Structures are given as structure tokens and as C-alpha cells.
Amino acid sequence: MGQIHTLITQLGRDQAKALQTDPDQRSLVDVAAAVLEEERQELGITYSGFALTALPHRRLPDDQPWERRGHKIRLLIEPGRLPIRNGGFKLYGVPYGSRARMILLYLQTRAIQTDSREVELGRSMHEWLDRMGLSVGGQTYRDIREQASRIAACNLTFAWEDAHSIGFEKGSIVKGGIHFSANAGAEPGQGSLWEDRVLLSEAFFRELKAHPVPIWEPALRHIQNNSTSIDIYIWLAYRLHSLNRSTPITWLAVFEQFGAGYSRLRDFRKRFIEALQLALAVYPDARVDVEEQGLMLHPSPPPIPERKFAQLCR
């Protein structure tokens, strides 16, 4: 993928596209060129646990929990219930897909930026979603509202394993729910989508502050509809800059982390490579080789300069 960025830099977008015979590769040239043209330097933050495990990509039955295993870490997400206006409680399944990931990114980034569990929603979140290419209206609004409710209702357990013990942290992401105003969702610009603020749980905020992963926000704007590419990008942002030597990752290990929903490794491998190429298109400095036995990860600069991240976290 680095070759495509080099071609674009040397020849320009149009000539780089003309050299590609595969339509999918021409699309990747467009994405890579758009990223190289980005001038904004907004920083995003996510919790390291989401770099090693992830939410489901597709909807599960509402009463079904979700469990994933990463390198020395396990994630369990359990469905939860929220109160409804006419009495009683409604069961919400676990959050899933790209919209849930983008909402979580906003909540985590704003919490770190302000060093506060209390995160502003309303106009601030509306403007951020618009900047990320998610104009809030119609089906997009309904999708975001549904995923926000799932995030508010669910319970997470992260379990870390070492040679001698297992430690875990269990709790919700949001304390008290994400509330929508009564007139939200009619048309874009009419009323506020959300109440003014939401409170992250103490446990989640503590872990986020202790183990943040910096990402380049404009990159995610270009892959915001592909949940697998989002997961791969965050994983590479976490892994590559911490390497001190080239490191092989077997296909079996990749399958265990990213292969939910696939029964056969060979089917997963093809789709994973496609999603990887898109993730690499928005991470120009990433050095990753696809080999017969798996992936070869090479030490690479982080997607956002470390000094910029240090300034934010002071």
C-alpha cells in the first residue's frame, strides 16, 4: 500500500489511478490521495482494549452476549435494559457496526480532551458527526440513536491474562444513559439531537486515561462506513509504533481476533485483506506486508505525532 502513496506523490492521483487495472485498486487510490491531501490534524482517542478486541460487525439477537479474545485480553459485552416512557424497561442488544464505533470514538476523545467524565453532546456532537461525514438525518439519525441506546444499556467486562493470574474490570460505558430530546430527529437542524451532557462511568474513564491509543481523526472519516477497516486501523495504530523489530502474525492469530462471523479461514482471509488495504490507505506511514503465512508488521511511526498526543494529555 505504501507504493500507492508513493505513486500518488510522484505522479499525482490521475496517473496513479491510470496505472491500476483493478477497479478496487483505483478506488483505493482515491482514498489514499484524499488522505494525503488532508490538512486537518484532529486527534482521536480510543481505549487500548478496543485495539485488541472489538464490537461485533453485525446485529446479534438482542438477548445474546458478545465475547471476543485478543492477545492476552478478553472482552465480554452483555445486553442491558433502559427505562421507557410508558413504564417498564426495554432490552437493547449489544452495540455493533461502524456507527457504534464512531460514537464511542467521540465519547472517548472528548473525555480525554477535557479530562472529564462529563462529555458534551448536543451541538458539539452534531458538528463532530457532520465533520466525520455522518450528516445526522433520516436513516443515519435512526442508526445513531439505536447504537447510542445500545452503548448506554450494555455492560462490558475486559479480562487481562498473564502467566499467573486473570484480572478484570466490569462496568458500563455510560452512567445514566444517553438521552435524546423529545423533538430530536425530525429534520437536520430542528432542535437538539441529545441532551447537553453524558457521564462516562468511573471505571471506564479510569481505564481510558490509563491506556489511551491516539488515532488520526481525518483517517477514520474516510473509512467510517467499514467497521472492519476501523478495527484494523486502530489495531495498527496501537501495535506498529511500539514495535522494535519486524514481527510476524500468523493467519490463525489474525482470524482469532478479527474473524468473528466467518467459519472458514480462507473466506475470512480474502475479506480481511480487502479491509486491510483500506485501513492502510488511510495510514500512509504504516508498514505491513501480507505473506503466505500471515502478516509481517514492521516498526512504523504512529498515525499522529507523539508530541501532539503528549500535549493533549498534559
pLDDT tens digits for range 199-252: 898 888 998 999 999 999 999 999 999 999 999 999 999 999 999 999 999 999
Amino acid at 37: E
Lookup: cell for 261: 462471523
pLDDT, greater one: 123 or 37: 37
In angstroms, the CA 253 to CA 153 distance is 31
In angstroms, the CA 118 to CA 124 distance is 13
Confidence of residue 83 (pLDDT cuts 50, 70, 90): confident
Across 1-5, 78-82, 122-126, 141-145, the highest mean pLDDT is recorded for 78-82
8 Å CB contact between 287 and 240: yes
Percent of the chain exceeding pLDDT 90 equals 50
Confidence of residue 182 (pLDDT cuts 50, 70, 90): very low
pLDDT tens track for 268-285: 999 999 999 999 999 999
Amino acid at 172: S
What is the spatial order of strands in the sheet that 73-78 belongs to? 66-70, 73-78, 155-161, 166-172
Confidence of residue 167 (pLDDT cuts 50, 70, 90): low
pLDDT, greater one: 137 or 216: 216
pLDDT, greater one: 133 or 150: 150
Confidence of residue 63 (pLDDT cuts 50, 70, 90): very high
Q: What are phi and psi of 167, to 5 degrees?
A: -110, 150
Q: To which residue does cell 443515519 refer?
A: 140
- Lowest-pLDDT choice from 53-67, 130-144, 271-285, 294-308: 130-144
In angstroms, the CA 271 to CA 150 distance is 27
In angstroms, the CA 222 to CA 220 distance is 5
In the prediction, which pLDDT does 191 show?
A: 42
In angstroms, the CA 53 to CA 155 distance is 15
Q: What is the mean pLDDT of the chain?
A: 85
Name 66's bridge partners: 77
Say if residue 162's pLDDT is above 80. Answer: no
In the prediction, which pLDDT does 190 show?
A: 40
Percent of the chain exceeding pLDDT 70 equals 87
In angstroms, the CA 309 to CA 314 distance is 9
In the prediction, which pLDDT does 179 show?
A: 62
Instruction: Find the mean pLDDT for residues 178-183.
Output: 56
List of residues 6+ apart from 161 with CB closer than 8 A: 72, 73, 74
Q: How many C-beta atoms lie closer than 10 Å to residue 295's C-beta? A: 19
Lookup: cell for 6: 508513493
Lookup: cell for 279: 485501513
Confidence of residue 140 (pLDDT cuts 50, 70, 90): confident
Confidence of residue 112 (pLDDT cuts 50, 70, 90): very high
In angstroms, the CA 116 to CA 270 distance is 42
Q: What are phi and psi of 160, to 5 degrees?
A: -105, 135
Confidence of residue 197 (pLDDT cuts 50, 70, 90): confident
In the prediction, which pLDDT does 186 show?
A: 44
In the prediction, which pLDDT does 185 show?
A: 46
Instruction: Find the mean pLDDT for residues 119-125.
Output: 78
List of residues 6+ apart from 197 with CB closer than 8 A: 118, 119, 120, 121
Nearest to 33 by CA among 54, 10, 52: 10
In the prediction, which pLDDT does 180 show?
A: 58
Measured in Å, how far apart are the chain's first and last C-alpha atoms?
Answer: 34
